Amino acid sequence: MTQDLHYYLKTWRLSEPKLLADTLTSKIYAVTYNHNKVVLKLFKPLGEKDEKNGAIALRCFNGHGAVKLLEYDARAHLLEYADGDDLVALVKKGEDEKATSIIAELLKKLHSVYTATPPKELISLENWFVSLFRKAERDAVKGLHSIFVRAAGVAKWLLKSQNDVRILHGDIHHENIRFSAERGWLAIDPKGVVGERTYDAANTLCNPWNMESLVEDEERLLRNATILAEKLNLDPVRLLGFTFAHACLSACWSLEDGDDPTHALNIATIIEPHIAC
C-alpha cells in the first residue's frame, strides 16, 4: 500500500499526503492536487470490485449532487474533497426533518442529471436484491413464511413494475452526504445501481445507522416518508414497500457478514403493517 501511495503521488502529481481513514476496503488520504485539497482513495483487494461501479456512477453524475471524480483507475480514485460535516451532525442537533429535506433535494439532482441509457456495467436493482431472494428461497424450502419470504414477494412485485428508472446512488444515508463550503451538500461513495428512483429514498429511511432509538420510531419513519414522497413526487405505497424490502435486504447482508440483523429487522417489522403491496 505504501508503494501504491508513492506511485499515485508521482503519477497524478500529488503532494502532502495525510491519512484520513483506514477501512476494510481502502486507505483514504487528503492530498494536494493543482493547489487544491482533494481525497485519494487507495483500494484494498476487497474494495477494488466494490468501488468500480462507484466510479462509473460518479462519472455519470458529473459533479451534480455528488463529489467530482478527478482521476481514477482500478486501484485508486482521486476525488473532490467535501470539507464539512455529514448529515448525522444535523440530526444530532435535533434537525432530523431538515436533514431529510436536504436528502430529497440532493436526490433530485442525482436522479435528473443522467437520463441516457445507463452504462451496462452498473448493477441492476434486481441483482442488488439477490441476497434477500436467496434467504427467502432457503426459508421457503423449510416451509417458513418468514419476514424474508414476505419481503421477497414485495420486492419482486416492485421490481416487475418499476418506473422512473435512473442511475441510483445505491447507498444514500446521512454519513454519505457531506457539506462543501464551495458547493453545498454532496453525496459520496455511490454503489452504482440502476433502478427505480424510489429505492434511493427508501434506503434513507433506514438511517442514520447506530441511532436505533430515533430510527426505530414509527412516527418518525412515517413522517420522513411523507416528506420524501411529497418533495420527490413519489408514490407513498411504493416508498414504504421499497423501505420494507431494503430493511430485510440489509438484515440479509448482516447475516452474511456475521453481524446482528436486529436493527434492520426492527425497522422492517415497524413498516410491514403500513405497506399495501
pLDDT digits (tens, 9 = 90+) for 61-75: 999 999 999 999 989
Stated pTM of the model: 0.93
Domain with CATH 3.30.200.20 in the chain: 2-80
Average per-residue pLDDT in the chain? 94
Identify the CATH number of the domain defined by range 87-274. Answer: 3.90.1200.10
Domain with CATH 3.90.1200.10 in the chain: 87-274
Catalytic residue among 86, 96, 171, 200: 171
- Between CA 36 and CA 81 the distance in angstroms is 9
171 is known as an active-site residue: yes
**What contacts 24+ positions apart, CB below 8 Å, involve 227-236?**
227/97, 227/100, 227/101, 227/104, 228/100, 228/103, 228/104, 228/201, 228/204, 229/201, 231/101, 231/104, 231/105, 231/108, 232/104, 232/107, 232/108, 232/197, 232/201, 234/197, 234/198, 234/201, 235/198
User: What top-level class would CATH report for the domain 2-80?
Assistant: alpha beta
> pLDDT at position 140, please?
97
pLDDT averaged over 10-residue windows placed end to end, the chain, 277 residues: 85 96 92 96 84 91 96 94 95 97 97 85 96 98 97 98 95 96 95 96 92 96 98 97 98 96 97 87
